[in-house]
């Protein structure tokens, strides 16, 4: 990032119609849309390469949207309806048409998630080509030292960069969130928002693994690598959905899609509730259906849970139920204990101590408060010409291609308006 600033597309005049800060998903997309409409656009980024998060996304295959990404309830934020206009104006099918025009092969995976067949770099290249066909100029490896309003009479903004002062009529802030600092994440977008009087909704790591107190977690650490499908909920958050997804035990806590999803809704100090066997009602299976009386409890439970988890579960249950051990036979325990064991599996309440933080979070929730933005143009209501798009805004999608769709839709809204 300390490389000298490159000015591709000609060093030319330092005066543009639109300056986009951030060559990520939202910024590149917005630049292409604005450029193709005839605006003179420059994209400025301190990273040497554009689209670094796109490159690493989806395990290198970029889950670029979701067939359900037009559904508003798949997005969280302080104003749940804010994203509606932008999502409606640019739906997943429009992005798929673009992907088809660039002959990028893709496939649908689990729950409507759409991935590239080969490499996420195809999406980066597509965005670059779209921008270039709009004549967009690039300032990559270029630090931004500050922005200010231009002279009152002229309107517009001035951006101080390594490559000198860039003058622009419209400024689009697309600098993303704080997640994964090594990809170039910074708080520049939030600082610019505050400078112009916009409020920032407190930011938090989201789509992130959860951690536990080391002593509490010690017995479960041995299960690292064990995965299973669960139902997961954050009961203290009334608006939080319940997710049925895979959960993964790690040395420090819990991960996997179920936990990443709920992490966006969980708040410190509140519990999680997990059903470890969501496809069955264990009480019915164990009591009404009268299991084999000679069966050991750990074996009984292993019909519904991974074997290592089942053994540990009965062992821990036994700590509060004298005489109950993994090898105890069903006939030796009463119905009441069986009912309690079933309940403990289907309503596991646990208290995370924190998250793995921005280092591991896929996204940042919170950000520029949407109340101050026009949902059709992403423009700050009180600051004509200043737009915010993508993850820097207080809109956070579910796991599964929703965050890229927000980048495309919000980038499109601003690109059509500037």
CB of 73 to ligand FDA, least distance (A): 16
In angstroms, the CA 309 to CA 312 distance is 5
- Given a contact cutoff of 8 angstroms between Cβ atoms, the answer to whether 391 and 361 are in contact is no
- What is the nearest approach in angstroms of ligand FDA to the Cβ of residue 179? 5
Verify binding: residue 24, ligand FDA, rule CB under 6 A. yes
Applying CB under 6 A, what is the total number of residues that bind ligand FDA? 37
**Contact between 193 and ligand FDA per CB under 6 A:** no
Residue-wise burial string across 285-309, b where 16 or more C-beta atoms lie within 10 A, e elsewhere: bbeeeebeeeebbbbbbbebbbeeb
Nearest approach, Cβ of 399 to ligand FDA (angstroms)? 8
Identified binder of ligand FDA from the candidate list 18, 19, 22, 313, rule CB under 6 A = 22
Q: Is 394 in the site for ligand FDA (CB under 6 A)?
A: no
Question: Which residue lies nearer to ligand FDA by CB, 159 or 234?
Answer: 159
- Rule CB under 6 A: is residue 56 a binding residue for ligand FDA? yes
Q: Which stretch binds ligand FDA (CB under 6 A): 48-56, 163-171, 270-278, 365-373?
A: 48-56
**99: enclosing H helix or E strand:** helix 92-101
C-beta of 82 vs 404, nearer to ligand FDA? 404
Least distance in angstroms from the C-beta of 342 to ligand FDA: 37
- The tokens describing 135, both together, are 């004549």
CB of 18 to ligand FDA, least distance (A): 15
Tokens 């997804």: give the residue: 245
- Kindly tell me the sign of the dihedral angle through the C-alpha atoms of 45, 47, 50, 54: negative
Kindly give the interhelix angle for 92-101 and 121-133, rounded to the nearest 10 degrees: 90
Q: Which of 18, 76, 140, 174 binds ligand FDA (CB under 6 A)?
A: 174
- CA 341/CA 276 separation, integer angstroms: 12
Residue for token pair 């309440």: 349
Residue 220 or 358 having the CB closest to ligand FDA: 358
130 is a contact residue toward ligand FDA (CB under 6 A): no
Residue number with the shortest CB distance to ligand FDA?
Answer: 24
Does position 53 interact with ligand FDA (CB under 6 A)? The reply is: yes
Nearer to ligand FDA, 328 or 403 (CB): 403
Q: How far apart are CA 204 and CA 361, in angstroms?
A: 9
Query: What is Dmax (Cα atoms) for the chain?
Result: 88
The b/e string for 384-407 (b: 16+ C-beta within 10 A; e otherwise) is ebbbbbbbbbbbbbbbbbbbbbbb
Q: Could you list the residues that contact ligand FDA (CB under 6 A)?
A: 21-27, 45-47, 52-53, 56-58, 62-63, 144, 174-176, 179-180, 184-186, 188, 362-363, 390-392, 401-404, 407
């Amino acid at each position: 990032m300390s490389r000298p600033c490159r000015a591709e597309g000609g060093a030319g005049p330092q005066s543009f119609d639109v300056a986009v800060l951030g060559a990520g998903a939202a910024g590149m997309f917005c630049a292409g849309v604005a450029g193709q409409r005839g605006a003179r656009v420059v994209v400025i980024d301190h990273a040497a390469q554009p689209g670094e998060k796109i490159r690493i996304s989806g395990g290198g295959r970029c889950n670029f949207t979701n067939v359900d990404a037009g559904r508003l309830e798949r997005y969280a934020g302080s104003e749940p309806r804010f994203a509606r206009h932008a999502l409606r104006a640019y739906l997943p099918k429009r992005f798929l048409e673009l992907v088809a025009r660039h002959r990028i092969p893709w496939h649908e995976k689990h729950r409507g998630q759409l991935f590239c067949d080969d490499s996420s770099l195809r999406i980066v290249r597509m965005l670059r080509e779209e921008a270039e066909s709009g004549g967009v100029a690039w300032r990559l490896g270029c630090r931004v030292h500050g922005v200010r309003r231009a002279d009152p009479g002229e309107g517009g903004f001035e951006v101080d960069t390594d490559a000198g002062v860039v003058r622009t009529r419209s400024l689009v802030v697309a600098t993303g969130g704080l997640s994964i600092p090594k990809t170039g994440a910074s708080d520049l977008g939030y600082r610019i928002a505050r400078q112009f009087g916009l409020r920032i909704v407190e930011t938090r790591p989201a789509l992130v693994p959860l951690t536990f107190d080391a002593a509490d977690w010690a017995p479960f650490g041995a299960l690292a690598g064990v995965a299973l499908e669960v139902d997961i909920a954050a009961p203290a958050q009334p608006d939080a959905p319940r997710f049925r997804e895979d959960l993964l035990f790690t040395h420090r806590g819990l991960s996997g899609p179920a936990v990443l999803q709920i992490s966006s809704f969980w708040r410190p100090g509140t519990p999680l509730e997990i059903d470890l066997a969501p496809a069955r009602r264990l009480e019915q299976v164990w009591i009404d259906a009268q299991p084999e009386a000679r069966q050991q409890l750990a074996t009984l439970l292993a019909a519904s849970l991974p074997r290592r988890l089942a053994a540990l579960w009965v062992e821990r249950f036994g700590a509060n139920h004298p005489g109950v051990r993994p090898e105890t036979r069903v006939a030796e325990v009463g119905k009441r204990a069986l009912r309690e064991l079933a309940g403990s599996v289907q309503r596991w309440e646990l208290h995370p101590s924190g998250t793995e933080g921005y280092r591991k979070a896929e996204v940042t929730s919170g950000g520029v408060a949407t109340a101050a933005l026009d949902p059709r143009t992403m423009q700050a209501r009180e600051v004509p010409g200043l737009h915010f798009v993508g993850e820097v805004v207080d809109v956070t999608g579910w796991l599964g291609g929703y965050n890229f769709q927000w980048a495309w839709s919000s980038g499109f809204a601003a690109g059509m308006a500037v």
